[in-house]
Amino acid sequence: MNDTAPPLEPEELDELLSAELDSELDAVARERHVPTETLVARIRATPGAAERRAALAAARDVLAETPDFDDLVSARIRAKAVRAAEAEQTARRKARARRRNRVFTGAIGIAAAAVVAVAIAASLSGHGNHTVAASAPESPRRTAAHPAATGSSLVVPPNAPAPEARLGTFTSLRLLALAAVDESATHKYSVAGTSSGRVPSALGSGSASAALPANSASRDQDGLSQKTAPAFTGNGKALPTCSAPSRAPTGDPLVFTTSATYQGQPVVVFVFEGTRARTVEIVDRACRVLNVQSIG
Amino acid sequence: MPDADPDHDTALARRAAAGDTAALDQVLGNHMALVHGVCRRVLGNADDALDATQEALLAIARKIGTFDGRSKFSTWAYRVATNAALDEARRRNRRPVPTDDVAESARAPDRASLDTGVADRLDVDAALEQLPPEYRAAVALRDLVGMDYAEIADVLGIPAGTVRSRISRGRAALADLLGNRETSSEHQTP
């Protein structure tokens, strides 16, 4: 006990007494880096401290009384707050739904754009230099996917040609042969350059919608000469792969292989290059020779 | 002091945040009287206190989804209430005061005609009116709500030492007023 402790100023006394009433005197002592006993001694050394403590305690008790609050007014305010919360939640739900719809619409738009882009790309790659016809009655439209695209979720539009029917759809073997010769002039390759001389893609995986000009039908002058192609081997599946003959019946070397649709059926076209003319051999899905032509 | 169990309040607040209006009504009911008390102590005026209480309750109801449960619900709710009351006090200070009100407030209340409860209330309001609203808020959060100094410091964003000083000033102002009334009563007593 320190009896010589100096008295406190009125404001400081109030602060220490108030802290003491709230059991916060230890915190004050820690803050001031003095023992709590020192503060207590100073309070006791201050004249009128006990009376002041009683007055502050009375004030604290009055301040602790909860002000009157009308029950009806209270209920009304509470109900209003609950309604406001409900309105807020409804607004939030609507905002969330709007955001969801925006995202969904955006995703649909992107997907649609992707489908259109794929269709355009497929159309461009499948048709080559041929005119794209709006529709070709003789070529059945299918939505079969290219084998390489198996597992993709994209759907090929009805008018998209299969990549394998590279030359398009023909009703004339003569025109088909001419188209193959034209094509071979730009894409000529040696037999050794092909994948072991095999037809590079499977047959029957789709149909093309490319068509020749309207007057092409009048140019069909060929009779079909069917014969078996001994060098071809089917693999027994729905999409056979035929081995290409390395030479034509005339002995000319194979320079180009492609595919097309003839009268609704997939065919493979081989072009052999001779010294004076090119020989075109067209085989069906069973690897049977449908036609052989010589084009000078 | 709040009677509500803090864990129960937190559970109610979470249910309220998920859209349970019954839970919201209940948790508001648990704290409504003290929210009003804080507003009344800060503003010292019944009408302004009602406005602030309504604002506080609306804010609590709308923002309850942001209550993260890291602090006690009561701490969060009284922070919202205190801010609503202080905002109302600032708005009131900007409002022009009608001359009739000034004349009315200048007149000393006829204490003899008032019952003790009303007189005490007037004393509290009058005593606290000498202090800035921020001081009154500290007193209300301590003596009415029962927060400790650290919580009050957190709610008001001030150091604990400042909280201590403000509480002391508020109590001292009321103690002085109550002491004067007692002194004058003693003088009037034959």
Residue A6 in this model has a pLDDT that exceeds 80: yes
Question: Inter-chain contact B172–A14, Cβ cutoff 8 Å?
Answer: yes
What is the tens place of the pLDDT at every residue in A148-205? 333 333 333 444 444 456 788 888 888 889 888 888 887 665 443 333 344 444 343 3
Least confident window among A7-21, A192-206, A257-271, B126-140: A192-206
Percentage of chain A exceeding pLDDT 70: 65
Give, in order, the Cα–Cα distances in Å from A251 to each of A176, A194, A198, A254: 22, 19, 18, 9
- Rounded-to-10 torsion of CA B116, B118, B122, B123: 20
Average pLDDT, chain A: 72
Our CA-based measurement puts residue A94 at a distance from the nearest CA of chain B, in whole angstroms, of 14
**Angle between helical axes of B160-188 and B149-156 (0-180°, round to 10):** 110
Return the top range by mean pLDDT from A37-51, A123-137, A280-294. Answer: A37-51
ipTM reported for the complex surpasses 0.85: no
Residue A226 and residue A158 in contact, taking contact as beta carbons nearer than 8 Å: no
Q: Cβ B120–A24 below 8 Å, yes or no?
A: no
Chain A residues whose beta carbon lies within 8 Å of the beta carbon of residue B28:
78, 81-82
Looking at the predicted structure, is the pLDDT value of residue A225 above 60?
no
Residue A122 to chain B, least CA–CA distance (Å): 51
Residue A161 pLDDT:
41
Q: Check residues A150 and B185 and name the one with the higher pLDDT.
A: B185
Q: What percent of chain A has pLDDT over 90?
A: 22
Residues of chain A contacting B170 with CB distance shorter than 8 Å:
59, 63
* pTM score, whole prediction: 0.55
Q: Give B-chain residues touching A31 at CB under 8 angstroms.
A: 160-161
Report CB contact under 8 Å: B50, A27: no
Q: What is the pLDDT of residue A233?
A: 34
Nearest neighbour of A59 by CB, restricted to B36, B62, B178: B178
Could B21 and A85 be called an inter-chain contact, meaning their C-beta atoms sit closer than 8 Å? yes
Name the band, by pLDDT with cuts 50, 70 and 90, for residue A218.
very low
Distance from CA of A53 to the nearest CA of B (A): 10
CA distance A97 to chain B (A): 16
The 3 state secondary structure assigned to chain A is CCCCCCCCCHHHHHHHHHHHHCCCHHHHHHHHCCCHHHHHHHHHCCCCHHHHHHHHHHHHHHHCCCCCCCHHHHHHHHHHHHHHHHHHHHHHHHHHHHHHHHHHHHHHHHHHHHHHHHHHHHHHHHHCCCEECCCCCCCCCCCCCCHHHCCCCCCCCCCCCCCCCCCCEECCHHHHHHHHHHHHHHHCCCHHHCCCCECCCCCCCCCCCEECCHHHHHHCCCCCCCEECCCCCCCCCCCCCCECCCECCCCCEEEEEEEEEECCEEEEEEEEECCCCEEEEEECCCCEEEEEEEEC
A242 confidence band (pLDDT: 50, 70, 90): low
